[in-house]
Amino acid sequence: MGHDAQPGVDSGVCYVCGRHTDTGWEESPSENFTAWSQVYRGTVMCEWCRPIFKNRQFRQRSWVACRTGVQFADAEHRTLIWDTLCEPPEPPYCAYITAGGQKQGWIVLGRYPSTSRERFWVGTDWTDRPVLIERAWVHEQAPLLDRMRERKTPKQVLLDGQFSSGAWSKAMAEGWTDDIEAVLSRVGNPRWEVVVRAHS
């Protein structure tokens, strides 16, 4: 059936959330959909999941969904994800951060709702499943991230650890090589990538 199929006649299990519905759409998410490994083996798209697929903001932008609604990160809410990591809303809620805005990385969040303000999941479009993060750990990383931002360290350097010889020389002269080593010890940790992208 096409994308304009009417609900109410397609009964089955939603391949996004896994819930049964009597008013679903028997249609694929899109012609370019590549995240089949992350969905259920259902037969329809339910009336709750379909609007999210149809709204490109859920794929293209970072966002937080809670009892009061959905907030998208934008120029006015630039620190939305970082603020959420530091002070999560009352559960249940979902937080999603995108690096490229192309993949439907939010899909698996349907199976990982956050039910605690101390330990919670963050969906991403660069990992196969959401990343489990502790609020206390986020607060522990904040001073290091603040210092590296003050030194204008590029985000990509914090992610890949490729500090230039000039950066090392400057760090040795000013006495902050410990911070570089701290960054290097975190590179490759999915939690680190989440906080770096959220903090920038």
pLDDT at residue 165, rounded to an integer? 97
Q: Give the alpha-carbon dihedral of 77, 81, 86, 89, to 10 degrees.
A: 80
> Which three-class secondary structure state does DSSP give residue 44?
strand
Q: Is the pLDDT of residue 8 over 60?
A: no
Q: In angstroms, how far apart are the furthest CA atoms of the chain? A: 71
Residues near 80 by beta carbon (within 8 Å), at least 6 away in sequence:
62, 63, 64, 71, 72, 73
Ranges assigned E (strand) in 74-147: 94-97, 119-124, 131-134
Burial class (CB in 10 A: 0-12, 13-18, 19+), 106: buried
pLDDT tens, position by position, 70-123: 999 998 899 999 999 999 999 999 999 999 988 888 888 877 889 999 999 999
pLDDT, one tens digit per residue, over 136-152 is: 999 999 999 999 999 99
Distance CA 18, CA 20 (A): 7
Instruction: Determine contact, residues 88/115, Cβ cutoff 8 Å.
Output: no
Residue 8 vs residue 96, higher pLDDT: 96
Pick from 27-41, 136-150, 152-166: least confident = 27-41
Q: CA 173 from chain center: how many Å? A: 37
- With vertex at residue 102, the alpha carbon angle to CA 101 and CA 105, rounded to the nearest 5 degrees, is 85
Decide: 160 and 183 in contact? Cβ < 8 Å.
no
Cα separation, 171 vs 74, whole angstroms? 34
